[in-house]
Structure 1
């Protein structure tokens, strides 16, 4: 969507803050022994208390309030009852709707203290997200996001998981434009003032692609290794973005 009024902006700030708070609460509870289902219950209770609804449930009938991906799963993981183990990678993606407005955010983390390899991947991915997001300004090519992500991934020696991209958001959970993390001749167009999008790089140590599990949801690194993702919803401006999540 494109922000068309003060009400649009205030409503987007509200749902963005809700998603941010839910993600923060879930991250704070990630520890050895807790289950993804227990984490998902936090999301469900907080969204309900805020008068919001889970976007994946609403839009796609997803079997959970949030996507919680563990180990080699990098996206769309279904919350289950297997306790988390120390050293595992976890990605939590929270998207929600309130009053017809949607926002989307996510982060990867380690259960317990990360080893050097995991810490480096997490830092590089979060830094890549921030740099790409702050480069996304009105009038610039949408492909500029991919240029930053590719450059940072190469600098740090990581692969980009292809096919997982950012997107427009606001009146629905997934809108145009597709905000690719890899350069493509098909990625045309320029960013517009007031446009609401997400930037979410997926970086990995060994895999460039993913496969879908038999559950029809979970996306897993095809060649194994470690993967990480960070995501924010923001409003494009002539300068620094208005980060909503």
Structure 2
């Protein structure tokens, strides 16, 4: 059963989707909430970064602080560590003590030098094309108990749902922008075709054919030829615009 705190985390994640202008802003907010949730669960300060694994290449894409981004970057540079293993295996991975755990010696040595003592990697499930994980860092040894891991898994599940929704919205926005650009280009071409129809008393198909021939003869894009024609006829150097109702 979800606690009040977990329900609040879920609500905040979904509010982030509507309240941020881009995906990067959403991810930065998510890492801050994750850090807050695990700090609450463990009683000790926790920092969080998000690792994205795509086409077998990993990258740090957000962090709750510069320290989190730095620590996550160490793991990416080594391509080895608990978060990378969590992302690849789909299960949480705990490094309880960087001075005692021998699984990732170089990573542990670098973390110790940076002041981190324990790490928790939790997978985020995004779909077939990409994988991601929460990389959680603490200055306290053995900070991630079984209860803390469970809390992190619950948060990661909520974050995965919210992130998948944010990705769909971002993709839809990009598609809408592409459609607007295509319609704007089409508007200029249609206007130029109308000018040719008026000047030559011809059909729209014939006007478009003449415009296409001019494009090929001048080795210019069709849109550029149409734009130059409209500007020449109108005496206005401003680009013709299309009006949309969003």
Shared fold, TM over 0.5: no
Larger radius of gyration: 2
Whichever structure has more strand as a proportion of its residues is: 1
TM-score (norm 2): 0.26
TM-score (norm 1): 0.26
Greater relative contact order structure (CA < 8 Å, 6+ sep): 1
